Structure 1
Amino acid sequence: MKKILLLLFSFSLFSCFDEEQEKKDVVEKNQYLNQNSVTVVIPISLWNGKIGEKIREKFAAPITGLHECESVFTLMPIHTNYLPSDAKASRNILIVSSNFKNQTTLVKNKFANNQNVFTIQGKNEDMLLNQLQNSGKEIMNTFYNSEINLVLQKINVNSNLKKQVAKQFSVDIQIPSEYKKGLQGENFLWLRKEVGSGFNNMLIYTASFSALYNQKALVTNSMFMRNQVAKKYVLGKTNGSYMITEQAYYPSFHTTEIQKNLAYEMRGNWEFHNDFMTGPYVNFAIRDNKRKRFIIIDGFAYNPVHSKKNLLFEMEAIIKSTKIL
């Protein structure tokens, strides 16, 4: 009798395991759940016209700083009012339809958790284009921030590194357990994570207000600061080689906000002086009013074989978790 019960219990365990594995496989095979994807429910006539062009222009624009042509969002168009069950699991859904009303609405968690469903309605093509123009930025930011938050929710924090960063820089950052400590200096810390054929790297350092605000040349000063730190710490394999900000192209630069603190975001490509390594970077200078300084976190990816899009996005999410203590 005991043997029968044991067999039944074992069978039950394996059945549960199979069910969980099946659910996992379904999730992994559902293309609508891919990171930074948007399901677009739209009539094919609108998708092939000006409306579709505008959607692709706004949501599938190339990512700044990547030499490879990779878009911010991967668009998954559905040309019917009926949403397949796989598509209902999408985190980001944009519905475009002709209607007597001209409006844009948002419904959260309509079919699944952590979901944003935007519906754009308009009487005609011009009205739909107007709604897209007026609401595009809000929709884009909502989808993007939702993806950032999802990355942060999945992080298994490296508590030791988190404590060290807090002690050294007086900031709280959600650092994943896969990241390890590299070089460390008095005002510098290098964190890195192995990713296939390369690494994700994050440099943390500080700068005074005067260092960045000198002559109000924010971009030039930010590039100069980045190059100075890289020249000192990020050295190449050959003698006299070190990382620099790509010289052929000017980086993108704009003002943003991280955890209610003013921040400056700079994106572009890095390369090596006297070497051939290259890749994208994202650099945030976060204003610390309490200590009259900037916390600068520079994330740069090196992975010559695979896509850098998700690598860069992960580092951006980590940086955006930064709280001044």
Structure 2
Amino acid sequence: MKKIGLLFLSTFLLLISCNSTPKKTYLPESIGAINSVAIVIDNQLWEGAVGDRVRQHFAAPVLGLSWEEPLFTINQMPAKVFSGSLLNTRSVLFIAIDTLSLGHIKTDMYATPQKIGVIKGTTEEEIIKNLDAKADEMIKAFKDLEIEEAQKRFLKSLNKDKVLEEKLGITLSLPSIYKVGKEENNFIWIDRQIQKGTMNIIAYEVPGNYFKSDSTLVTDIVKMRDSIGKLYIPGPDVPGKITYMITEKAFSPYVFPAEISGRKAAEVRGIWEINNYPMAGPFLTYIINDDKNDRKVVIEGFVFAPATEKRDYMFELEAILKTVQFSDKQK
């Protein structure tokens, strides 16, 4: 009888301890088109100086495109409308007049993954001041989230070709729709067909000491791209003319420091064109240090799509390029 009582007591205590454990909150999966941001703000603020400043930051033109396209597609709505399934929007910017003055980012409030930028102020001037102070941080948070979402979608169907690993000792998370079109020496060209053209990825390597000086970096990058274009990326056949891809002559590309796959890199954005033929489009290049192998690995995405908006195409290519991983083996 005593044993039965002890068994009952231990079972009862176990049940109590289980019931006292806080229940884990399960959030729904976030929703939203890639590169879209919900701007939750009253109509009066949206139509005035505050709205102008929001557009100045979050709808700024993307660098390196053929014509102006906004950084994000903006969907404005007043707070009373932001309810129901809209609460699950992936990227949200909330702006309001309040007794508090602040600017911060909240993570996974209503859904996951989700980033909500919050800007408040006691006056419109204070809201604008807080917005200016936090806009770059919020833009980066939204863009990083969108990159992660795009990469997650790639995993549903990946290209299993090993050519990049075999030739260059790198891998990319490539959607299966991309196919290897050319492999020559240590140059690989991968592409996919789109409605009005092609999306392209190329990869190659240059010696570790290829770039001699920071003062000539941009010029040297252009020379590198143009020499690769002449060797491997021909343009249309034109009688009596030699056509191949070059960097647009009229404008220098934008060059920024970057970190890719944990390595120092340079990010290059600009416009390509075809020598001796009227074709052009945007490109994004990462030049990545591989000190172990005394080389720099170059991966680039470029789009040919005449009379078509290209922001989302270039964004997909950026998301793919940022999945690059290096083999641990000495090449």
TM-score range, shorter chain: 0.7 to 0.9
* TM-score normalised according to structure 1 size: 0.85
Q: Is the 8 A contact 2:203 2:300 kept in 1?
A: yes
**Equivalents in 2 of 1:215, 1:129: separation in Å?**
37
What is the correspondence of 1:204-243 to structure 2 with a 5 Å cutoff?
204-214=203-213, 216-239=215-238, 240-243=242-245
Q: Is the 8 A contact 1:238 1:275 kept in 2?
A: no
What's the CA shift for 1:251? Answer: 1.4
**Equivalents in 2 of 1:213, 1:58: separation in Å?**
36
**Equivalents in 1 of 2:125, 2:217: separation in Å?**
40
**Equivalents in 2 of 1:303, 1:82: separation in Å?**
37
**Equivalents in 2 of 1:65, 1:110: separation in Å?**
34
What's the CA shift for 1:71? Answer: 0.7
- Answer yes or no: is 1:297 the counterpart of 2:309: no
More divergent stretch after superposition (308-317 vs 165-174): 165-174
**Equivalents in 2 of 1:130, 1:169: separation in Å?**
48
Structure ranking higher in helix proportion: 1
* TM-score normalised according to structure 2 size: 0.84
Q: 1:288 is matched with which residue: 273, 287, 290? A: 290
Which residue of structure 1 aligns with residue 181 of structure 2? 182
How many residue pairs get matched? 294
Which residue of structure 2 aligns with residue 317 of structure 1? 319
Q: Is the 8 A contact 2:93 2:117 kept in 1?
A: yes
Which residue of structure 1 aligns with residue 24 of structure 2? none
**Equivalents in 2 of 1:215, 1:107: separation in Å?**
39
Partner SS for 1:276? strand
1:175-197 deviation digits (Å, cap 9, x = unpaired): 11111111112221001111112
Partner SS for 1:277? strand
**Equivalents in 1 of 2:213, 2:231: separation in Å?**
22
Which residue of structure 2 aligns with residue 260 of structure 1? 262
Which residue of structure 2 aligns with residue 164 of structure 1? 163
What's the CA shift for 1:153? Answer: 0.5
- Answer yes or no: is 1:274 the counterpart of 2:276: yes
Q: Is the 8 A contact 1:238 1:274 kept in 2?
A: no
Q: 1:235 and 1:323, CA in 2 relative to 1: closer, same or farther beyond 3 A?
A: same
Q: Is the 8 A contact 1:41 1:81 kept in 2?
A: no
What is the correspondence of 1:97-112 to structure 2 with a 5 Å cutoff?
97-112=96-111
Which residue of structure 2 aligns with residue 203 of structure 1? 202
More divergent stretch after superposition (58-67 vs 44-53): 44-53
Which residue of structure 1 aligns with residue 18 of structure 2? none
Q: Structure 2, unaligned stretches of length 5 or more?
A: 1-28
The code of the aligned residue for 1:286 comes to I
**Equivalents in 2 of 1:133, 1:289: separation in Å?**
39
Greater C-alpha Rg: 2
Q: Structure 1, unaligned stretches of length 5 or more?
A: 1-26
Which residue of structure 1 aligns with residue 59 of structure 2? 60
Q: 1:55 and 1:215, CA in 2 relative to 1: closer, same or farther beyond 3 A?
A: closer
What's the CA shift for 1:86? Answer: 4.3
What's the CA shift for 1:322? Answer: 1.0
- Answer yes or no: is 1:49 the counterpart of 2:39: no
